[in-house]
Amino acid sequence: MCAIRHSSAGRTSRCLRDRSRRGLANRRRRDLPSAYVKSASERRELLKAVYEEARDCTCCPLHQTRTNVVFGAGNADAELMFIGEAPGANEDRMGLPFVGQAGKLLDKLLGEIGLDRTEVFIANTLKCRPPDNRDPHPNEIEACRDYLDRQVELIEPIVICTLGNFSTKLLRADMTGISRLHGREEVRVVGSRAVRLYPLYHPAAALYTPSTLETLRSDFHRIPELLALGPPAQPQISEPVPDADEPVPEFDELPPEPPPVAREREPAAQLGLF
């Protein structure tokens, strides 16, 4: 497996995290002070760092055949994210997601609920195009998974719409198909973030099948109602676990918590990179 290092994006490397998990059972944990909450501009800068890392990624064989890494595009502080399958030929050439016919349909449906691409973030399960648009392979999905988790952790969406089977199965960690799940929202944890997961038919599947388009449209029109619910309760975040040879501070030695910082959404800050 590829040795992915994340220190540039403000997270520990995979091997460090594994070591932390091993030591968790016998170490003291406490909630992080709210000062650890990152502003939208900090999260945006960290997202750019993840993009720069992904641009050079060689974690799976798809790097040999790609023209561009298609990291994702849109608002780095979006309340709504879409996750498709993988870039196709046009996306690979342009380095942007959903630029073909399926993307045009996505734009149209967004317009119908009063949104456009500058207000949402669109990404894919795979960041590189599988040759001849074949289905993603499990090793490719696994190699790319961490980028998706970090995108979600940094963007902090309220609602994630998975488009089609691949992203739905991945984020639900379950093989149930999209025809049973579409239009049924549920709270799921993605990376370290609880989100309202909302599976939808893939727009490409709706292009030539009117009944699928009508179902996609009626599911899509419920998105504003889900956004209005606000973010679900978040899992408790724990302080990074110290190494075995580091002394663990007693609770009464820990500094007092600063007052809570309310999270404010920045006005649509389009990621100029993409």
> Is position 88 an interface residue for ligand URA (rule: CB under 6 A)?
yes
Reference 174, options 163, 166, 182; nearest CA is: 166
> Is position 97 an interface residue for ligand URA (rule: CB under 6 A)?
yes
Q: How far apart are CA 62 and CA 140, in angstroms?
A: 8
> Is position 74 an interface residue for ligand URA (rule: CB under 6 A)?
no
- 53 versus 85: smaller Cβ distance to ligand URA: 85
Reference 206, options 219, 223, 197; nearest CA is: 219
156 Cβ partners below 8 Å, 6+ apart? Answer: 43, 77, 193, 231
Least distance in angstroms from the C-beta of 191 to ligand URA: 20
Task: Quote the tokens at residue 188.
Answer: 């799921």
Only segment of 26-34, 50-58, 82-90, 177-185 that touches ligand URA (CB under 6 A): 82-90
> Is position 87 an interface residue for ligand URA (rule: CB under 6 A)?
yes
Only segment of 85-93, 113-121, 140-148, 262-270 that touches ligand URA (CB under 6 A): 85-93
Least distance in angstroms from the C-beta of 126 to ligand URA: 9
- For residue 75, what is the DSSP state? B
Least distance in angstroms from the C-beta of 173 to ligand URA: 19
Residues 118-137 binding ligand URA (CB under 6 A) are 124
Reference 82, options 169, 162, 187; nearest CA is: 162
Longest alpha-carbon distance in the chain? 65
Rounded to 5°, the CA angle 40-237-151 comes to: 40
Dihedral Cα 173, 176, 179, 184, nearest 10 deg: -60
Binding to ligand URA by CB under 6 A, coded x per residue (else -) over 199-218, reads: -----x--------------
224 Cβ partners below 8 Å, 6+ apart? Answer: 113, 114
- 86 versus 144: smaller Cβ distance to ligand URA: 86
Residue of minimal Cβ distance to ligand URA: 84
Least distance in angstroms from the C-beta of 172 to ligand URA: 17
- 40 versus 203: smaller Cβ distance to ligand URA: 203
**Residues engaged in binding ligand URA (CB under 6 A):** 84-88, 91, 97-98, 102, 124, 204
